[in-house]
Homo-oligomer: A and B are copies of this chain.
């Protein structure tokens, strides 16, 4: 009994159908998400930030990065573009002058109130193609996969 993987048997490994399914599911979901968000003139990353800032008093770059999984280097650019659009603004902190708080502007709040419920509604409607038991099981398995590769 040997687990060596050769050029000949590599394509028969049973992880490959699962990997293909994961890639396809991600591609389909993220593509759909991006197309939907275009209605609000937002990229997925921008929407992620706006939706994270909604119903908060503002968050620092570090906090946004932790919740959205956007790297801090990327986040600088995303916040720059949201600022140009007038949806957020940077607020300096006196307590810790290294930190910057990012806050939704009035326009950002309005977009959040309009886009967030509608966007979630569209996604929820699609996911209702799964039963509640399937959603729970898929969540459990995906959490387990995430742990395996962390």
Q: B-contacting residues of A (Cβ < 8 Å)? A: 3-7, 10-11, 13-19, 21-29, 31-32, 69, 113, 116-118, 120-121, 123-124, 126-127, 129-130, 132, 134-135, 137-139, 141-150
Contacts and interface: CB of A to CB of B under 8 A. Distances in A.
Contacts of A31: 149
Given A7-B116, A120-B10, A123-B15, A25 B142 contact: yes
B25 A145 contact: yes
Contact of A69 (B4, B23, B120, B124): B23
- List the 8 shortest-distance A-B pairs measured between CB atoms, nearest first: A21-B142, A15-B127, A5-B121, A28-B149, A25-B142, A32-B149, A138-B141, A28-B146
B22 A142 contact: yes
Given A5-B117, A135-B14, A28 B150 contact: yes
A3 B139 CA distance: 22
Contacts of A22: 25-26, 29, 138, 142
Nearest to A129: B148
Among A3, A123, A139, A144, which residue has the most Cβ atoms of chain B within 10 A?
A139
Given A138-B142, A141-B141, 4 more contacts: A7-B113, A10-B116, A14-B132, A22-B25
Contacts of A120: 5, 10-11, 13, 15-16
Nearest to A113: B7
A139 B134 CA distance: 12
